[in-house]
Amino acid sequence: MEDLKKFLVEKVLTFESDTLLPETEKKLQQIRREKISTPVIYLASGTGSIIAGSEKTFLAIRSYLDDNGTVSDLVRVGCSGPANFEPFLCIQLPGKNKLFFRNITEEKVEPLLNGIFHNDINEEDLAGQKGTRGFEMWPGIPFLEELPFFSRQKRVVLENCGCYDPENIDEYIARGGFRAFVKAIRHYTFEEVCTIVEKSGLRGRSGGGYPAGLKWKQALNTGSSSRYLICNAKESDPGAFTDRTILESDPHRLVEGIAIASYAIGASSALIFLRYGSEHARFRIQKAIDNAREYGLLGHNIFQSGYNLDIEIRIEPGAFVCGEETALISSLEGKRGMPKLKPPYPTTAGLFGKPTVINNVETLMNVPLIMQNGPEWYRSLGTEKSPGTKVFAITGKCRITGVVEVEMGTEIKTILEDIADGIKEGKEFKAIQLGGASGSFITSDNLDITIDYEVMKEKNISMGAGGFVVVDENTCMVDLVRYYMEFMRNGSCGKCIPCREGTGRMLEILEGVIRKPSNDDSGTTLERFKGVMQLENIASVMKDTSLCGLGQTAPNPFISALKNFREEFEEHIFDRKCRANICRGLRTFSIDVDKCTGCTACASKCPVNAIYGTRLQPFFIVVEKCTGCGICFDICKFSAITVK
């Protein structure tokens, strides 16, 4: 173990020349598992995989190998993207291409491995093979990289995800890791690193798209004695999980990115602001930091360069508003996470009044690549104004969900139709929501928009941190907007009035729109109409007068939904009808007399006792008592209950 560490430090990391010795390369190939003598089984093990049951699969494989006395390595790797394929398993036999299998739950392990070791491959669960030079191809098996899910992607940031053991720093170094950092601290000044990143045109991936190199220079040129770098890994948008996947699958590159960025701004202390609840990610990133420290990549006087750096993890205690820079800083200082007025920007007066650079995970993941391959290489990706790639977390009603990476300039249509494989169950597409809880909707008219900061800004669409939510015809837009508004109401810190009261009031009105009219004679109808008339007004006031981004963008989903789906809102308000049959309060159930057999199943399950009748005779529902919960609808075996 010590020998390997010494070898990696001396012959790889601090080796004078860029080209390594041939015998070093040979050994690295072994560490990368490119030359193997026994079979290797790789099992994806991110949070998504664990939820799908990968740990049970792991134990099943372990016991299979033990029982059969098969000599074989079993490695946990990160997630490679498609969440539908979990537990995602890969088997590599000596001298042959890697084979990938999808949805390998524990009971499938034995037949699968039995087959593989006896040259009988189970085609049913097979996802494909991965072509690697110098390896024998499996005949008649499709290539994984030819699947539309992979072929339309450009994996740069995610290139290592799912390929190596994220708890093993040796493998990362063998894949070329940390050499960019060592090169930076040995050969470049702070200023030069900033210039390289500025030249590359890397823009902050948290949504705003501010040039990263420029931000670093601003912090560097303040002339303060100490500076801080914060990696914002909070990601609390509902439905976004890109950062977590990266942290779980490739934590070492993030450590390297943080190290280079800290060096560029001359910070000797860096913090990772991690979301609470993501224990798995925390464990892996902590391990990556500890390993880097062991190898002398962090700590005091790193490789005799005179540069000191330490990285600490801080767990965010749970407040949506802490994603905002100044609120994040307040939280780290041990205060309530409330935003402050800008300027001064954090780059001049941030954490403890010192210049602070805050970058998100994806931005920092790009940095080692830029240092390694040069700014020109980075410029060659993507579009002129927005170089590089963008990672998205696709969720919702599409066939394939998961984490994907596309080149800037890709059409949204490509992501939806090729990568995500269209809408589930042949339903009709309704909208895509980009940018988390404060993003706007993209409808079928706008699907040709390209992923590009300039283009999207022009169309008034925020790119956001990577949420890509697909919505189909079975989703009620009013209900979805209400959900986002509720999320924002809970997330508002309460410092400024437009946001605190605005989100609350808008939620109240939206709830009024979907609530059951208890009695149309009372004041509820009038109240509803009065409220609806005010909605647009409140939204514009919030946009103009809120203190921070949270309040300013909170009405976005509403404004955009109203623009694109006005008729759906009108139906709710005037006709009291929900076309997707989602809004409970507006559903009316009735029993089809011809189909009802009088089995009493619905009557016994009705929580409000609104169903009456005699056994073996048709039942009926008392509409005034019904709350619209839909339990009877789900329980009826004769589809006698109809919903309107």
CB of 132 to another protein, least distance (A): 28
- Two tokens at 90? 């890969």
Give the three-state DSSP class for 165.
coil
Residues in 339-368 at the binding interface with another protein, rule: CB under 8 A:
352
Confirm or reject binding of residue 268 to another protein (CB under 8 A).
Answer: no
Q: Cα(574)–Cα(578) distance, rounded to whole angstroms? A: 11
d(CA 517, CA 135): 68
Selected binder of another protein within 43, 83, 606, 626 (CB under 8 A): 83
Is residue 69 at the binding interface for another protein, with CB under 8 A as the rule?
Answer: no
Which positions from 612 through 631 interact with another protein, judged by CB under 8 A? 629-631
**Is 455 near another protein (CB under 8 A)?**
no
209 binds another protein (CB under 8 A): no
- Minimum Å gap between C-beta 475 and another protein is 6
| Binding residue for another protein, selected from 134, 140, 223, 334, defined by CB under 8 A | 334
248: Cα within 13 Å, side-chain hemisphere: 24
Stretch that binds another protein, among 363-371, 395-403, 544-552, 566-574 (CB under 8 A): 395-403
Element (H, E) at 193: helix 190-200
Longest dimension (CA), the chain: 90
| Residue window 18-47: x/- pattern of binding to another protein, with contact defined by CB under 8 A | ----------------------------xx
Q: What residue type is 347 in one-letter code?
A: T
Site string for another protein, 85-124 (x = CB under 8 A): -x--------------------------------------
Residues 305, 186 contacting (CB under 8 angstroms): yes
Of the candidates 4, 21, 51, 593, which one interacts with another protein according to CB under 8 A?
Answer: 51
Which range binds another protein by CB under 8 A, 30-38, 274-282, 532-540, 542-550? Answer: 274-282
Residue 551 in contact with another protein, rule: CB under 8 A: no
Q: CB nearer to another protein: give 277 or 296.
A: 277
Q: Does 223 bind another protein (CB under 8 A)?
A: no
> Is 634 near another protein (CB under 8 A)?
yes
SS3 call for 602: helix
Closest CA to 545 of 490, 491, 495: 495
Residue with smaller CB distance to another protein, 51 or 497: 51
460-390-422 Cα angle (round to 5): 80
The letter for the amino acid at 629 is C
Peptide bond into 343 cis (omega under 30): yes
**Could you say whether residue 276 binds another protein (CB under 8 A)?**
yes
Residue 393: enclosing H or E segment and its boundaries? strand 389-396
Of 113 and 400, the one with the shorter C-beta distance to another protein is 400
Cβ atoms 256, 289 nearer than 8 A? no
Contacts with another protein in 231-260 (CB under 8 A)? 236-241, 244
Helices 361-373, 242-249: inter-axial angle, 10-degree rounding: 50
Distance from C-alpha of 450 to C-alpha of 166, rounded to nearest angstrom: 33
57 sits near another protein (criterion: CB under 8 A): no
Distance of CA 556 to the CA centre of its chain: 20
Q: Please give the residues from 462 up to 491 whose contact with another protein meets the rule CB under 8 A.
A: 467, 469, 471, 475, 480, 483, 487
Q: Which of 396, 409, 466, 502 binds another protein (CB under 8 A)?
A: 396
Strand residue runs (E) in 267-340: 269-275, 310-316
Q: How far apart are CA 134 and CA 296, in angstroms?
A: 35
Site of interaction with another protein (CB under 8 A): 46-48, 50-52, 83-84, 86, 236-241, 244, 276-278, 314-315, 317-320, 331-337, 352, 393, 395-397, 401-402, 433, 437, 467, 469, 471, 475, 480, 483, 487, 493, 605, 607, 629-631, 634-635
